[in-house]
Amino acid sequence: MTVRHVALVGGVTTPFGVRPTTWAEMAQEAGAALFRSMPDLRADDVDSLFVGAAEPERFAFQSHVAPLAAEQMGLKPRRILQRTELACASGQSAIRSAYAAIAAGLSDVAVAVGVEKMNLPSMAEANASMGCVMDRPWDGPHGATAPPFFAMVAQRHMLEHGTTPEQLAAVSEKNHRFANANPHAQFYAKTFSKDKLMRLPIVAPPLRLGDCSSMTDGAAAVVLVAEELARKYTDAPAWIRGTGQYSDFHNLAHAGSLTEWPGLTIASREALGRAGCSLKDLDFAEIHDCFTISEIVEYEALGLCPPGEGGRFALDGRGDIGGDIVINPRGGLLGCGHPLGATGIAQAVEVFEQFGRKAPPARQVPDPEWALVHNLSGSANVHSVMIYQTGGAS
Amino acid sequence: MSATARPRRSPVPSEPATPAPSREERPAPAAATSEAAPSQRPAAPPRPPRPFLLDFFPLEGSDQTRLSRFFERLREGRLSTTRCPRDGELHWPPRVACPTCHTEELSWVDLPEHGRIYAFSAVLGGAPLGLEADVPFAVGLVDLDGVPLRLFGRIDGKPWTELRIGGAVRVEPYDVGDGRMFYRFRTVE
* Three-state SS letters, chain B: CCCCCCCCCCCCCCCCCCCCCCEECCCCCCCCCCCCCHHHCCCCCCCCCCCHHHCCCCCCCCCCCCCHHHHHHHHCCCCEEEECCCCCCECCCCCCCCCCCCCCCCEEEECCCEEEEEEEEEECCCCCCCCHHHCCEEEEEEEECCCCCEEEEEEECCCHHHCCCCCEEEEEEEECCCCCEEEEEEECC
What does the alpha-carbon distance between residue A383 and residue B89 come to, in Å, rounded to a whole number? 26
pLDDT for A392 equals 61
pLDDT in tens, A322-381: 999 999 999 999 999 999 999 999 999 999 999 999 999 999 999 999 999 999 999 999
pLDDT in tens, A87-128: 999 999 999 999 999 999 999 999 999 999 999 999 999 999
CB A382 within 8 A of CB A340: no
What are the sequence ranges of the domains in chain B? 23-187
pLDDT for A1 equals 60
In the predicted structure, residue B38 carries a pLDDT above the cut 60? no
What does the alpha-carbon distance between residue A180 and residue A329 come to, in Å, rounded to a whole number? 11
The SS3 call for residue A114 is strand
| ipTM value greater than 0.90 | yes
CA distance readout (Å), A9 to A46, A74, A341, A375: 13, 19, 20, 21
Task: Report chain B residues whose CB lies below 8 A from the CB of A124.
Answer: 127-130, 132
pLDDT for B14 equals 32
In the predicted structure, residue B11 carries a pLDDT above the cut 80? no
Q: What percent of chain B has pLDDT over 90?
A: 65
The SS3 call for residue A386 is strand
In the predicted structure, residue B118 carries a pLDDT above the cut 90? yes
Residues 144-183 of chain B with CB under 8 A from chain A are 149-154, 160, 165, 176, 182
pLDDT for B43 equals 64
Search chain A and give the residue with CA nearest B143: A253
Q: Architecture of domain A6-121+216-238 in CATH?
A: 3-Layer(aba) Sandwich (3.40)
Backbone angles phi, psi at A360, to 5 degrees: -60, 150
Q: In which band, very low, low, confident or very high, does the pLDDT at B40 lie, cut at 50, 70 and 90?
A: low
Give yes or no for A255 touching B (CB within 8 A).
yes
CATH number of A145-214+241-389: 3.40.47.10
Give the best residue of A142, A159, A381 to mutate against chain B (max B CB count within 10 A): A142
A162-169: average pLDDT: 98
CB B73 within 8 A of CB B97: no
Q: Which residue has the higher pLDDT, B17 or A377?
A: A377
pLDDT for A185 equals 98
Q: In which band, very low, low, confident or very high, does the pLDDT at B93 lie, cut at 50, 70 and 90?
A: very high
Search chain B and give the residue with CA nearest A256: B150
A221-228: average pLDDT: 98
What does the alpha-carbon distance between residue B116 and residue B167 come to, in Å, rounded to a whole number? 5
Does the distance separating the beta carbons of B141 and A152 come in below 8 Å?
yes
* Nearest CB to B128 within list A143, A149, A151: A143
A141-164: average pLDDT: 97
In the predicted structure, residue B36 carries a pLDDT above the cut 50? no
Q: What percent of chain A has pLDDT over 70?
A: 99
Give yes or no for B93 touching A (CB within 8 A).
yes
Q: Which residue has the higher pLDDT, B19 or A189?
A: A189
Search chain B and give the residue with CA nearest A142: B154
In the predicted structure, residue B30 carries a pLDDT above the cut 70? no
How many contacts, defined by CB atoms under 8 Å, are there between A and B?
114
What are the sequence ranges of the domains in chain A? 6-121+216-238, 145-214+241-389
Task: Report chain A residues whose CB lies below 8 A from the CB of B92.
Answer: 251, 253-254
In the predicted structure, residue B3 carries a pLDDT above the cut 80? no
Q: In which band, very low, low, confident or very high, does the pLDDT at A255 lie, cut at 50, 70 and 90?
A: very high
Q: To the nearest whole number, what is the mean pLDDT of chain A?
A: 97
The SS3 call for residue A225 is strand
Handedness of CA B81, B82, B83, B89 (dihedral sign): negative
What does the alpha-carbon distance between residue B42 and residue A122 come to, in Å, rounded to a whole number? 30
> How far A327 CA sits from the closest chain B CA (Å)?
28
In the predicted structure, residue B37 carries a pLDDT above the cut 50? no
* Nearest CB to A131 within list B93, B128, B184: B128
pLDDT for B39 equals 44
In the predicted structure, residue B155 carries a pLDDT above the cut 60? yes
CB A271 within 8 A of CB A189: no
Q: Are strands A109-116 and A48-52 parallel, antiparallel or unpaired?
A: parallel
Q: Which residues pair with A372 in a beta bridge?
A: A285, A387
What does the alpha-carbon distance between residue A55 and residue A217 come to, in Å, rounded to a whole number? 12
Does the distance separating the beta carbons of A141 and B57 come in below 8 Å?
yes
Q: What percent of chain B has pLDDT over 70?
A: 77
CB B132 within 8 A of CB B115: no
Does the distance separating the beta carbons of B132 and A124 come in below 8 Å?
yes
Tell me the angle at which helices A292-302 and A262-275 cross, rounded to the nearest 10 degrees: 60
Q: Which of A220, A237, A276, A285 is nearest to A109 (CA)?
A: A237
Residue type at position A34: L
